[in-house]
Amino acid sequence: PEVTFSGIQPTGIPHIGNFLGALSNWVSPQQTTSITKTALYTIVDLHALTVPQDPTQLRKNKVDMTISLLACGLDPATVLTYLVDLGTSTFRMCMDSKLYYANRMAKSQKKNVQSIEDADTSSGLCLGLLAYPVLQAADILLYKATHVPIGEDNVQHLELARDIAQKINKLYKQDIFPLPQPILAPAKRIMSLRDPTKKMSKSDPLEQSRINLNDLPSTIALKIKKATTDTIKGITYDPENRPAISNLVTIYAAVQGVDVEEIVEEHSASDTMKFKEALTNVLIEKLTPLQKEIERLKNEHGYVQQVLQEGNEKASLIANKNLDELYKLFGLR
């Protein structure tokens, strides 16, 4: 059976990188629950503990993320709340287990562990942070996912999940885990508005590097106006030589749901300022209804809690069934 599974960290309000790179697929008809397919989307609170969290703020961020996902059009029946089991406390302990040699490892690990770039590595890496991709693989495999809609930065993590799945299948001579495959959106990697060599990220200290789903029209206008460009005339799509403009073209095309070629054709004679104005308008047009829905859902506290509660029950049901099977397979039960 086909199982679509993916997750997002409880960072409060997503940015357009999350939205265009991953969430757009979560709400697409192909990746929602149907007769032939189960879809499960989770807010990964456990993963959030790889960096210090204020408990009250974490709880609030989780609710805000749920609201954002629902406002983006996610089917409430596909929402899973992350299963908190015994592993939680163990994993939490990992966060405090510094690897003293980790600073040396950081360079080589950086290639493999995406979230390291999102964390403070100056004081040494945490075991928990290094284990992050393993935890992600455990999520994916526990739900026996076949399809995983993610941004490009998560493809390496999925490769690890496939690798672990293959090893366990081979070791126990059973097809216990299907091999999960990535589902990538056309805007699989949205870059920072201020530095097109870096991906747009929640943890970038420069607020102007990203557009959040709840940014006011005036904020969107200002951030796009200040976005990095180049001195070449006209609008073209050439990520290698014109990364900044190409990133804006990618955003424009993804928001409109068309190919980049179409945007370039439409705007090739335009100057940067005019192009930025047009992009600002399409972004505002796209985000305004989402923002209205976010505001509406903020007053529906009971409903949002119910979605989280039901998601939690569903997660426990599926996870416990699969865990039981795994415990038996491993000889633990």
Binding site for ligand TYM (CB under 6 A): 5-9, 17-18, 21-22, 44, 47, 136, 139-140, 148, 150-151, 153-154, 157, 188-190, 199-200
DSSP 104-172: HHHHHHHHH-GGGGGS--TT--BHHHHTHHHHHHHHHHHTT-SEEE--GGGHHHHHHHHHHHHHHHHHT
For the bound state, the minimum distance from the C-beta of residue 60 to ligand TYM, rounded and expressed in Å, comes to: 16
What are the two backbone dihedrals, phi and then psi, of residue 134, each rounded to the nearest 5 degrees?
A: -70, -40
For the bound state, the minimum distance from the C-beta of residue 183 to ligand TYM, rounded and expressed in Å, comes to: 10
Cβ neighbourhood burial of 261 (10 Å; 0-12, 13-18, 19+): exposed
Which residue, 85 or 266, has its beta carbon nearer to ligand TYM? Answer: 85
Cβ neighbourhood burial of 227 (10 Å; 0-12, 13-18, 19+): buried
Which residue, 157 or 286, has its beta carbon nearer to ligand TYM? Answer: 157
For the bound state, the minimum distance from the C-beta of residue 194 to ligand TYM, rounded and expressed in Å, comes to: 13
For the bound state, the minimum distance from the C-beta of residue 87 to ligand TYM, rounded and expressed in Å, comes to: 14
Which residue, 6 or 272, has its beta carbon nearer to ligand TYM? Answer: 6
Longest alpha-carbon distance in the chain: 68
Which residue, 258 or 273, has its beta carbon nearer to ligand TYM? Answer: 258
Which amino acid is it at 330?
F
Which residue, 189 or 267, has its beta carbon nearer to ligand TYM? Answer: 189
Return the axis-axis angle of helices 217-226 and 272-298, rounded to nearest 10°: 150
In 3D, which of 143, 112, 109 has the Cα closest to residue 7? 143
For the bound state, the minimum distance from the C-beta of residue 6 to ligand TYM, rounded and expressed in Å, comes to: 4
Which residue, 84 or 232, has its beta carbon nearer to ligand TYM? Answer: 84
For the bound state, the minimum distance from the C-beta of residue 1 to ligand TYM, rounded and expressed in Å, comes to: 18
What are the two backbone dihedrals, phi and then psi, of residue 297, each rounded to the nearest 5 degrees?
A: -70, -25
What are the two backbone dihedrals, phi and then psi, of residue 148, each rounded to the nearest 5 degrees?
A: -130, 100
